[in-house]
Structure 1
Amino acid sequence: MDQPLAPDLVVYDLDETLTRRATFTPFLLHAARTVAPWRLPFLPIWVMAMIGHKVGLWQRTALKTFGMRLMAGRRGPAELAQVAESFAVSRGFLPRAQRAVAEDLAAGRRVIVATAAFAFYARPIAMRLGIHEVVGTHWDGEGIPGGNCYGPVKLARVQAWLADEGLAREGLRVRVVSDSRADAPLLDWADEGWFVNPSARRVAEIERRGWRVVDFRR
């Protein structure tokens, strides 16, 4: 049997694909503790806002904007740079994810992180794994220009990154690695989709989509 072709470009999601846990609420708490401890009592308001999102009262972009303003104020990425660095140090990674990234980098593949997380704090997290290129959600201190880097928007941002880098999609073999069905547009666009850590009830669905099931927890 022929061996599958190795990818030239590998695109990793961040939250719960590389990291052990989601990052946004932990970042909000870390930012509040670091730059505005008086905001910590607002945490129950944030919890209620997340519940509101679950029942359809908030869109993701509006929710994230509210969370940043509530817990970190109107500070921009430059003002939050040191907060982002100290937050990155405390992030834990899934064991197999670390090995997969190391293998990709050692093989000379181009590796990027594409995430709905804010790029200003996702970048130092990614750099701890040796990944220097991040496509993420933008924060300007007031709002989220261009919207949340999520679902089809994430695919469009990755395609824009390819264009900016002068890379032709037709000349690349691409692998996308994610734990989220929201990344279906990106996984379908890839030559090789890896869906990591699915629940048992989702495995059949994932395999029907033609994606590979991978366990990054061991």
Structure 2
Amino acid sequence: MEPKLPVSGAMKVAIYDLDKTLVRRATFTPFLAFAARRIAPWRLVLLPVWVLMMVGYRIGLYDRTTLKTHGMKLMLGRPDLGRLEAVGEAFAEHHLARAGWIGEVVTMAEHDRAEGSVLVVATAAFEFYARAFARRLGIEVVIATRWDGSGIPGGNCYGEEKRRRVTEWLAVQGEVSSVRFASDSFADAPSLEQADDAVFVTASPRKKARAEARGWRVVEGL
């Protein structure tokens, strides 16, 4: 569980997804390729197998937790967490140099900080590299998928599981006056629906219409 933050009185919270919300492109497959080059370069020949595994997920053969668990083992083996954190730090720098932040969303986060909100990153990305991205924005609280060296304890931090973890974290913060939640994914509908200010990030007219039909504010950030 994330540590309780010291607060005086009610606090405002602004929660941001990572992939395609703060960061312009998805992170997991790029991380696997980047980390394989650093940890086990010979495993790069297995990238086509990883692509086939993603196809298997999309046709419903297994869930995201299973996909990510096997992807980690396939492409990286079982490096210790310290090694993964070090590679994750380098990956964040590398990925941002190529993909960049979504400026409109980062500006929103900076405005939230200036208004006194506690900033949180809540993401399905693995915690060992999600924290590296969050640090670059000065965000200390990260709710993310955990890795114990061989599996994903508690499951992938995605959809309803993300909502559960966010709710659990909020419950120990004391009095919270408002919650903003920003995401690019309809999988985050459970978290968006319970937020006081739901922000959907997209440049797609179709997705914009769907989000607005649900009463969510839209930021055209991609």
Cα contact 2:203–2:221 (8 A) shared by 1: no
- For 1:203, the equivalent position in structure 2 comes to 208
Residue from 174, 184, 190 that aligns with 1:167: 174
TM-score (normalised: structure 2): 0.90
* Structure 1 Cα separation of the partners of residues 71 and 63 of structure 2: 12
Residue from 182, 207, 216 that aligns with 2:187: 182
Residue from 194, 198, 206 that aligns with 1:193: 198
2:107 paired with 1:102: no
* Structure 2 Cα separation of the partners of residues 205 and 101 of structure 1: 24
Name whichever of 60-69 and 197-206 sits farther off. 197-206
The Cα offsets for residues 129-166 of structure 1, whole Å up to 9 and x where unpaired, read as: 111110000001100000000011001101111234x3
Cα contact 1:76–1:139 (8 A) shared by 2: no
- For 2:89, the equivalent position in structure 1 comes to 85
Cα contact 1:198–1:213 (8 A) shared by 2: no
Shift of 1:198: 4.6
* Structure 1 Cα separation of the partners of residues 123 and 49 of structure 2: 25
Structure 1 residues 12-161: aligned runs within 5 Å: 12-90=16-94, 91=96, 92-161=100-169
Which amino acid in 1 is paired with 2:161?
Answer: V
% identical equivalent positions: 53
* Structure 2 Cα separation of the partners of residues 68 and 76 of structure 1: 12
TM-score (normalised: structure 1): 0.91
* Structure 1 Cα separation of the partners of residues 163 and 197 of structure 2: 15
Shift of 1:111: 0.5
Structure 2 unaligned spans of 5+: 1-10
The Cα offsets for residues 61-96 of structure 1, whole Å up to 9 and x where unpaired, read as: 000001100111112322211101101112221111
Which amino acid in 1 is paired with 2:76?
Answer: A
Which amino acid in 1 is paired with 2:166?
Answer: V
